Amino acid sequence: MAEPIAHATKEGSAQAVQRCLSPACGASFGIRERIYVCPKCGGPLEIECPVPCAADAASLRAGWQARRASFEPRDRSGVWRFRELLPFDERAPIVTLAEGNTPLYDAPRSAEYAGLDGLRLKHQGCNPTGSFKDTGMTAAVTQAALLGARRVACASTGNTAASLAAYAARAGLQCAILVPRGQITSAKLAQSMDYGAAICELDGNFDDCMRLIQELGEDPSIYIANSINPFRIEGQKTVAFELMEQCGWRPPDHVVVPGGNMGNSSAFGKGFGELLRLGLIEQLPRLSIVQAEGAAPLARLFAGLDDAHRAPRSPLPESITPVADPRTLATAIKIGSPVSWEKALRAVLDSRGQIISVSEQEIADAKAIIGRDGIGCEPASATTVAGIKKLVAAGVIRRDESVVGVLTGHVLKDPDYVSHYHRGTLSIASGNAAAAQPIAGKFRNAPERIAATKAAILDYLERKR
Ligand code: F0G
């Protein structure tokens, strides 16, 4: 194990509490109480961890970095090497698959496409189960083990399920996943099958599954691992730490993430906020969220806010109008009623970011461009580059500003989409009409049948140049 960090709180959990974020309530609860929303008012909960004093910031930074050279499992994890800022103590039975420590790539073609001088993409698809969910799941399943839970459960569009299934398998817990039947990719479903989860395919959409999981959570045998669980957010906030470390602790001007159930954006907001309070960064990057047009309840809410309600620390609207029938081929974010919208909106407003939506065509083409950078991602992740292009065109992001887009899932999460795009057969069912609306791939690259001769192959390569 790397050297212990001087002055760091060994017992990170000793003073941590679960705090209700509703301004009228603010009640606090013990860190080992099995709750997901405030038992008093139903408001969202957040873990409040004592942030070590700013004087320790330099030693924290050095210690976190030093752990990268260690072979101890807690140090190998890109989540647990930041454990001074996590609500667990040294004795926690950590369930890890060596998550995190994902690359931050330069993406010159994507930059040019978006109208920027440069663009970096943080690839969370390089996690053990191929999505960013692993950074949260290691914390949630560790908490499940601490609580003595025997059964963990989630509602999912596919990635949360695959991740929970894997971590539950590591911990020897039963895993139940609720997925909307026929609406998650075969690759994601295959992962959950392989990891041994009990897979409940339900008629309905993700929002229906999410409602049911909250009901199931009332049963004492079930521990919920969706991002409504504040321990998920604790794990995921470490991505903000890791990203700033990769940026030399100089925050980029903008960080852009996709938005679905809004756990990821909430976690980035919390992570950046803690770094600012610690004095590890001097200002917040502007955090912006991009949704798919057909599943964009928060972008719609944001568009309706006047300037006074967009100001940092302004009161949030009381409710969000759900999208009853969300539609997008980016199935990961096909969500009409995001559970963590308040935390996410707070993070965006406080950092003066934006929340926008992009079309299916924009997502598809951006995805292909990211592929041309040799990176690749699943459709939901490509909303970032599509959204950045839109924000540059609108003058919100300047060409010379520094921008990081967060890719949330691996390209192999949805190979059918990729293949349809490049073969020119991608389409989305439009409105109530049965007719499918084709999506013309601007950057198509389909395989071609070539005669099995050297000359034919060379000729083909010349034509393709
Ligand atoms: N990108 C990918 C690849 C996702 O799987 C998700 C969410 C998001 C973005 C959106 O993140 O929900 O934190 O705003 N997937 C969830 C799931 C809903 O069940 O796998 P969010």
pLDDT for residue 7: 36
Comparing CA positions, the residue from 257, 245, 319 lying closest to residue 288 is 257
Q: Is the CB of 378 under 6 A from ligand 1?
A: yes
Query: In a 3-state reduction of DSSP, which class is residue 29?
Result: strand
Neighbouring residues of 140: CB distance < 8 A, sequence distance ≥ 6 = 152, 164, 167, 225, 229, 231, 232, 235
Report how far ligand 1's centroid is from the alpha carbon of 291 (Å). 11
CA distance 268 to 239: 7
The DSSP output letter for 418 is: H
pLDDT for residue 51: 74
Q: Is the CB of 290 under 6 A from ligand 1?
A: no
Question: Is the pLDDT assigned to residue 12 strictly greater than 90?
Answer: no
Closest Cα to atom 12 of ligand 1: 261
Q: Is the CB of 13 under 6 A from ligand 1?
A: no
* Percentage of the chain exceeding pLDDT 70: 95
Containing 438, the helix (H) or strand (E) segment is: strand 436-438
The DSSP output letter for 32 is: T
pLDDT for residue 2: 44
Query: In a 3-state reduction of DSSP, which class is residue 18?
Result: strand
Ligand 1 atom nearest the C-alpha of 344 is 14
pLDDT band at 14 (very low <50, low <70, confident <90, very high): low
Closest Cα to atom 4 of ligand 1: 332
Q: Is the CB of 409 under 6 A from ligand 1?
A: yes
Mean pLDDT for the chain overall: 94
pLDDT for residue 433: 58
Q: Is the CB of 262 under 6 A from ligand 1?
A: yes
Angle value at C-alpha 387, between 382 and 391, nearest 5 degrees: 155
Each residue's pLDDT tens digit, 164-190: 999 999 999 999 999 999 999 999 999
* Contact by Cβ (8 Å): 283, 276: yes
Q: Is the CB of 187 under 6 A from ligand 1?
A: no
Torsion sign (Cα): 166, 167, 169, 174: negative
CB atoms within 10 A of CB 428: 15
Comparing CA positions, the residue from 71, 68, 69, 95 lying closest to residue 82 is 68
pLDDT band at 336 (very low <50, low <70, confident <90, very high): very high
29 to 48, 100, 145: CA distances (angstroms): 10, 29, 19
134 to 81, 164, 174: CA distances (angstroms): 15, 8, 17
Helix axes 230-246, 57-66, angle to 10 degrees: 90
Neighbouring residues of 346: CB distance < 8 A, sequence distance ≥ 6 = 21, 269, 316
pLDDT for residue 56: 84
Q: Is the CB of 63 under 6 A from ligand 1?
A: no
Amino acid sitting at position 316 = L
Lowest-pLDDT range of 237-241, 296-300, 428-432, 448-452: 428-432
Q: Where are the beta strands (DSSP E) in 181-276?
A: 198-202, 222-224, 254-258
Average pLDDT in the 411-440 region? 90
Question: Is the pLDDT assigned to residue 432 strictly greater than 80?
Answer: no
Helix/strand/coil percent split, the chain, to 5: 40, 15, 45
Dig out the tokens for 139 from the structure.
């914390």
The model carries a pTM of: 0.96
Q: Is the CB of 227 under 6 A from ligand 1?
A: yes
pLDDT band at 431 (very low <50, low <70, confident <90, very high): low
pLDDT band at 283 (very low <50, low <70, confident <90, very high): very high
Report how far ligand 1's centroid is from the alpha carbon of 443 (Å). 25
Dig out the tokens for 82 from the structure.
């930041």
Report how far ligand 1's centroid is from the alpha carbon of 261 (Å). 6
Each residue's pLDDT tens digit, 85-127: 999 998 999 999 999 999 999 999 999 999 999 999 999 999 9
Each residue's pLDDT tens digit, 40-65: 999 999 999 887 766 688 899 999 99
Average pLDDT in the 371-396 region? 98
**For the chain, counts of helices (H) and of strands (E):** 16, 15
Map tokens 């990769």 to a residue.
Answer: 246
